[in-house]
A and B are shown apart, each in its own frame.
Chain A
Amino acid sequence: MMAWLRSPRRRKTVPTDPFVPVRSTEPRPPVQAPVMVMPRENPEKVRLRAERRLKVTAACFVFGFALVGVKMGAISASEAREPVTGGLSGASIVSARADITDREGRVLATNVMATALYAQPHLMVDSDAAAEGLARIFPDMEAETWKRRFKSGSKFFWLKGNISPEQQQAVFDLGEPGLLFGQREMRVYPNGPIGAHVLGGAQYGAQDVRAAEIKGIAGIEAVFNDFLSDPVHEGAPLRLSLDLSVQTTVERVLDSGMRLMGAKGAAAILMDVHTGEIVSMASLPDFDPNDRPRVAVSGDQADSPLFNRAVQGVYELGSTFKIFTVAQSLDLGLTNAGTMIDTQGPLRFGRHRIRDFHNYGPRLSVTDVIVKSSNVGTARMAIEIGGARQKAFLGSLGFFEPTPVELTEAPGARPIVPARWTEISTMTISYGHGLSASPLHLATAYASLLNGGTRVTPTLLARQGGTPPGPRVVSARVSAEARHMLRQVVTRGTASLAEVEGYQLGGKTGTADKPSPTGGYFDDKTITTFSGVFPSQDPRYVIIVTLDEPQVEAAGEDRRTAGWTAVPIAAEIVRRAAPLLGMRPDFRAEVDTFGAYLTQANARP
């Protein structure tokens, strides 16, 4: 049985019986499994899924391209710069506020590191001892007050904005952990009060333990506050038109002159005739911008040392205005330098009487009207000109709007002009009464009139390169004639003390009675002004000196006129400042002839 089982050999099948089915030797193909036909999905669903997938893909692409686009935009919009390593505090930005220098690059304002002291009472070991120690170091701190404050529960107090290294060491020695120091910058004006009114001053704005913001509060510091604290300029200094040595000389001479003349205030301006750059601007009394006094809350602001007489002081400037009337008359062709003018006085007009200081006889030439300073003659010339034309001419010299100089005080100093320009106004304004303006207005007008006749704009910034001449005010010839007349005021007129050998100073004096606050004028208080130009034949600088209430004993009399007070000071300023400005004196006699004036006028464009 086992053998039968073990022999599964297939028998060879032989077709024997045709009715017996023959088995195939070929293996049967495997039975195909029935194909599972997936049920058809809902086509709507499929479509939605495809749409979703497409949307996701599109979103990916949009996102990617947007990223690239944004980056490209950022690259094209940003400044091309070297990549900065580390992102550390830049070495290029030195201080938060740029320096201010004079025209030669000498420092007028800069920053130094300072230490501030603050207290955190909750860190203190012994607050009473700390308060007593502080009171010992700083005499102005009261121990009792600070003991109370340290116990009040507050966690922070500013104690001192700026302490010296010695004081810092003394506070260290107290050994109190609750007294801490903060580093900050401090604005320093190394020259003290020199140029104080121009610079103004600065104070701390927002302050923090680590740093403090410095803000300009007056003068050029306030006007250029944004410029000075803008890091874009990378610490480039602001260059002013002032010259430190000239400014020092002017202030020194003006100060001694003011005390000699017994005046209560003084102002001086030295301006470049062609560019309008103010080389020196002084106002006395002055102050130290490192320790700027507080604004006076009572009394007259005009007596405060903060008051800038050269810009804010609006005064009747007296006979210095006569040259404007004469120049306009010459320019209009109404007169020439030799025309005789009726100076018979007094000139009556309504209830007003115009008279001269002395009686100069029946008639004077136009030149002599200026040289002798005749009110009557000038008033007669002004009537010829007429009010409308006079007003337009003074307007073209800038007498009706505040000066555009870069000081915070300037826009407030609006000249005082009569509300109605009547005929009597025309007459009085022709010799400088009835219209009040600042010395800076006068300097601008003199520079415009005498530089060949083109308008200048006063500025305190050093001009880069040449400046195009402004609109024409008078012709070059009239300008030369006006200078020649002003020169004769010095050589044979009211300003004889202004003769400076070698510099041909020419100018006009002006004495005006001070208006009293109760109305009318003081008898014994004057404002004296000298406004001049030098050298007269080839003008380079205009000088204005104004004194407030001067009084000097000279030649046996009490003198209050400009010829005895402002003129000698102006002459001394020119004598000292002109060599500092690099001007060579010219002692030749022929430079003072009228021919020299005309050739110089023509040589200039």
Chain B
Amino acid sequence: MRSLVYALCIAAVVGLAFWAYGEGYETRATEREVAQLEREIGARHQELSMLRAEWAYLNRPDRLHALAEMNFERLGLMPLAPDHFALADQVAYPPPQIVLPIRPRVNAEVLEQEIDGIVVMNHVFGADAEPRMIAPPTLADDGEQLP
């Protein structure tokens, strides 16, 4: 009887020791993991602040202004002015849908003749002015528009 108790106690001690060591190792592993995660969070924070700085730099008012000017033809952005405010009453109702009668397709040859008659105009005055093309905005190598 007594030896059985001894054996059980020894087994319990061994088991507890095993468990305690296991917990200890697990704790240390978790600590390492947490430290790893903290380092990662720190690195991500660093990245985030870098990206925020870059965002602020790319959104600096001077650059936005230059971009708005470069793309004026496409976007037509103007500085905000008092007359841009309006009342809800001033918004018109949508116009009634106009159903256009379906016209017969124009013969291709007739179209060709019509297009021939169109003269390309340019906005520079003077008889011998070169035809002028408004250059599209220049693109950088990576496709970004540089002011």
Q: Do A and B bind each other?
A: yes
Spell out A's residues near B (CB within 8 Å). Answer: 85-86, 88-91, 94-95, 99, 106-107, 110-113, 188, 190-192, 194, 244-245, 248-249, 252, 500-503, 575-576, 578-580, 584-585
With a CB–CB cut-off of 8 A, which chain B residues contact A584? Answer: 85
Give Cα distance in the complex from A106 to B55, angstroms.
10
Complex Cα–Cα for A579 and B100 (A): 42
What are 22 A-B pairs at a CB distance below 8 A? A85-B38, A88-B39, A89-B42, A94-B42, A94-B48, A94-B49, A95-B46, A95-B49, A99-B49, A107-B56, A110-B52, A110-B56, A113-B50, A188-B53, A190-B53, A191-B61, A194-B61, A249-B79, A503-B82, A578-B82, A579-B80, A585-B82
- A402 and B114 CA atoms in complex are apart in Å by 78
Whether B49 pairs with A245 at a CB distance below 8 angstroms is no
The yes or no answer to B84 lying at the interface (CB within 8 A) is yes
Decide: A110 and B49 in contact? CB cutoff 8 A: yes
A112, B35: Cβ atoms under 8 Å? no
Residue of A91, A111, A194, A500 ringed by the most chain B CB atoms within 10 A? A91
A107-B82 contact given A85-B31, A94-B45, A191-B60, CB 8 Å threshold: no
- Cβ of B110 within 8 Å of any chain A Cβ, yes or no, is no
A residues less than 8 Å from B31 (CB atoms) = 85-86
Residues of chain B at the chain A interface (Cβ within 8 Å)? 31-32, 34-35, 38-39, 41-42, 45-46, 48-50, 52-53, 55-57, 59-62, 65, 79-85
State A596–B82 Cα separation when bound (angstroms).
Answer: 21
A585 to B87, CA, bound (A): 11
Known: A112-B50, A579-B81. A190 touches B57 (CB 8 A): yes
A99 neighbours in B (Cβ, 8 Å): 49, 52
Q: In whole angstroms, how far apart are the Cα atoms of A110 and B80 in the complex?
A: 29
Given contacts A85-B31, A91-B39, A192-B62, contact A579 B84 (CB under 8 A): yes
Q: Assess whether A86 is in contact with B34, with CB atoms less than 8 Å apart.
A: yes
Most buried by A among B31, B57, B81, B82: B82
**Given known contacts A190-B56, A579-B85, A91 and B79 CB-to-CB distance under 8 angstroms:** no
State in angstroms the CA–CA spacing of A30 and B46 once bound together. Answer: 96
* Contact indicator A88/B38 (Cβ below 8 Å): yes
Residues of B within 8 A of A95 (CB): 46, 49
CB within 8 A of B61: which of A86, A90, A245? A245
A572 to B53, CA, bound (A): 32
Chain A residues contacting B57 (CB-CB under 8 Å) are 188, 190
